[in-house]
Amino acid sequence: MGRLSVDLCGIELDNPVIPASGTFGYGYEFAEIYDINCLGTFSFKGTTREPRFGNPTPRIAECTAGLINAIGLQNPGVDKVIAEELPKMAKVFHKKVMANVSGFSVEDYAYTCEKLDKIDQVGWLEVNISCPNVHGGGMTFGTDPKAAASVVGAVKKVTTKPVIIKLTPNVTDITAIARACEAEGADGISLINTLLGMRIDLKTRRPVIANVMGGFSGPAVFPVALRMVYQVAKAVKVPVIGIGGVSTAEDVIEMMLAGATAVEVGAANLVDPMACKNIIDDLPKVMDKYRIETLKDIIGGMR
């Protein structure tokens, strides 16, 4: 393993930097800008059992040190993803990819995960029980330990690949959800998904986003995400992926010191398409600055 390498659920990553689902599409758009094989891996656009058009527009609102989105899991459905998107992705990305899965019932999650589990290029299943932008599913499962556990149990019965559960921060005790997922067999935990937020247009006195509320992300959420990653890493024995406001190599190292094995980069990709490549390029210099020999040695290393 190299200086930047980490082991995520038994699969080696060249580095811990992973573009987060919903901010990197299916990769091939970014491959026109740089060689995306420099990434550890990436989590492709959230996939559901059936095609989804998503929420009505407007879907995005800018705010101080971040943005609010309510895309609503727009995607072509799992069958089309497998038939059309993954073959195109394979032409530009030659490593295992992370499949992000959402659903509106336990059966939905199991169905979609079982299909994606059979695809060789999929290395991990990131099960999103934390989307705040849909009704009748998504975050509903991630706010109750029993509901979260029911999704994990159903998915683990029909899959063989590592299952990583993506958690919502919109709860009182995120460690209770994480422990329930681990107890049902989750191979890893990723957190945090977006915080709930909203904006109001002062001229119209109406919500900026048609969905009224949406997911708040960006640099402003980093301290909250870091705190929750630290709490969950202390509460479970499975690997943790840190997400939330990460935009620099220093942020990556901070997340890893808090207990993250790998780190996902989300909103930063929407601000600068080169964000992940720049972070990877900067990591060795920042490691030298702080006298870090290998990244795997600092996981959970906060003193």
CB distance 254 to 225 below 8 Å: no
CA 164-269-20 angle, 5° bins: 5
Q: How far is CA 123 from the centre of its chain?
A: 14
CB distance 25 to 45 below 8 Å: yes
Report CA-CA distances (Å) from 33 to 18, 27, 28, 29, 246: 17, 10, 9, 8, 21
CA 209-102-66 angle, 5° bins: 40
Report CA-CA distances (Å) from 111 to 78, 126, 190, 223: 9, 14, 21, 36
DSSP 212: S
Q: How far apart are CA 107 and CA 177, in angstroms?
A: 20
> Tokens 């740089």 belong to which residue?
34
Q: How far apart are CA 64 and CA 126, in angstroms?
A: 29
Q: How far apart are CA 102 and CA 113, in angstroms?
A: 9
- Catalytic, 113? Answer no
Question: Which of the residues 9, 113, 131, 276 is marked catalytic?
Answer: 131
Catalytic residues: 131
